[in-house]
Amino acid sequence: MAGQPRDTEAELVRRHDARQSLIHFAQGIDVPGRPVSENEDEEVFLPVETRVALHHRVLMALLHRVFNREIRNLMVFMPPGSAKSTYTSVVYPAYAMGKRPGSRFILGSYASAIAWKQSRRTRQIVLSFRASQLHQVRWRFTRSSR
């Protein structure tokens, strides 16, 4: 049992860091990736299996500046498959809503199915045990949040 205090201390540091930084938040949760089934309305997603890369860190640092109101508008131009939607439309809203309860997000897309899917991925984060340990927020979803 000698390792438990060190493990507990490491967990407290992890939680503290995840509350302070979007990058640490993303590293401290299971980021939802692809759905577990082919069902269009699937509510459960498998965790992303890749690590946070340098370009993800750069993007999240900019998103954190948006959160802190240092940047008013941000346009993200990155190649397909670079996880821009994952971090801007899924992870960032979960982080921001936990830090600022009552925050609202509107997710738009050329296809409503994509917006609904991203919304479900964000919901999986905020309802997860790991994220619930980071923010003491009671989540309430409306009918329109699917």
Q: Amino acid identity of 2?
A: A
Q: What is residue 45's DSSP assignment?
A: E
pLDDT at 69: 95
Position with higher pLDDT, 2 vs 85: 85
- Three-class DSSP category at 39: coil
Q: What is the pLDDT of residue 65?
A: 95
Residue 35 β-bridge partners? 45
Banded pLDDT at 113 (limits 50, 70, 90)? confident
Q: What is the mean pLDDT of residues 81-106?
A: 90
Q: Following DSSP, what letter does each residue of 50-97 receive, concatenated?
A: SPPPHHHHHHHHHHHHHHTTS-S-------TTSSHHIIIIIIHHHHHH
Supply 89's token pair.
Answer: 């439309």
Phi, psi of 47 (to 5 degrees): -65, 150
Q: What is the pLDDT of residues 36-81, one digit of tens each?
A: 888 888 888 988 888 889 999 999 999 999 999 999 999 999 999 9
Quote the radius of gyration of the chain (alpha carbons, Å): 16
